[in-house]
Amino acid sequence: MELTGAAALVTGAGSGLGAATARALAQAGAQVVGMDLNATGLDHAILGDVASETDVTAALDAASALGPLRLVVNCAGIAPAARVVGRNGAHDLALFERALRVNLLGTFNVLRLAAARMQALDATQPDGERGLVVNTASIAAEDGQVGQCAYAASKAGVIGLTLPAARELARSGIRVVTIAPGLFETPMLSGLPEAAQAAIRALPPFPARLGRPEEFAAMVLAICANPLLNGTTLRLDSALRLPP
């Protein structure tokens, strides 16, 4: 996919993986709109909730005003932790619902509204590609840890919708690809207690360090560049399998 002159929407662009992706796409020549609940440092920033049809429509309008909207990257997400049965009793159902709402419903909301617009774009050569949606799951979808039921379920849902969406949108030349990151150096991780952070940093086999947000962004660019990547989830995890 040619990024020069194309418009892109990145959700969760106010922080971490989304911020790095928005920067990298802009450097690669795309016109980028970043959407987040919090203000972002981007030239084109839209405040909004990925689970809101109105907010996502406004963000897509803003992106479409800058050029043909060929790329959407879903990075917005939350990672609440709670046990099935914790010290205060059973898992808060509202917390479970919130994780699904932001991570799964929010991702699907952006995908469906973006795909509806991409279908109307001119096809690009040589393959007739019209657009690309990149989602962000997590390796916790496959190796979720204690306390991650809500998070892991929401991310497994994102992985689950990737293939049926790619199959359906194939006739319109729209690809759907999901990245399942391992552990990355972002505010999501630095919000954890110091002891938990130290334990986490020791986990990746090789390279034996946390991923850098720029390395996630580089994966997004690689997916843009390779049209055969479609309908799949790519683990980006330094051979890490999360322990229980």
Active-site positions read 151
Q: Is 186 in the site for ligand NAD (CB under 6 A)?
A: yes
Instruction: Convert residues 115-134 into a mask of x (bound to ligand NAD by CB under 6 A) and - (unbound).
Output: --------------------
Q: Is 184 in the site for ligand NAD (CB under 6 A)?
A: yes
Q: How far is the CB of 228 from ligand NAD (least distance, A)?
A: 24
Q: Is 189 in the site for ligand NAD (CB under 6 A)?
A: yes
User: Residue from 1, 30, 36, 148 that binds ligand NAD (CB under 6 A)?
Assistant: 36
CA 9 to chain centroid? 11
With respect to ligand NAD, which residue has the nearer C-beta, 118 or 141? 141
* 100: nearest Cα among 78, 84, 115: 78
DSSP 27: H
- For residue 124, CA distances in Å to 98, 134, 170, 229 come to 38, 18, 14, 17
Query: With 0-12 CB in 10 A as exposed, 13-18 as middle and 19+ as buried, what is 58?
Result: middle
- If one counts every other C-beta atom within 10 angstroms of the C-beta of residue 91, the result is 16
The single residue listed with the structure tokens 């619902």 is 97
User: Residue from 2, 37, 153, 159 that binds ligand NAD (CB under 6 A)?
Assistant: 37
User: Residue from 5, 187, 205, 207 that binds ligand NAD (CB under 6 A)?
Assistant: 187
Q: Got the DSSP string for 68-103? A: -EEEEEE-------B-SEETTEEPPHHHHHHHIIII
Q: Is 14 in the site for ligand NAD (CB under 6 A)?
A: yes
Positions in the binding site for ligand NAD (CB under 6 A): 11-12, 14-18, 36-38, 49-51, 75-79, 102, 106, 136, 138, 181, 183-184, 186-189
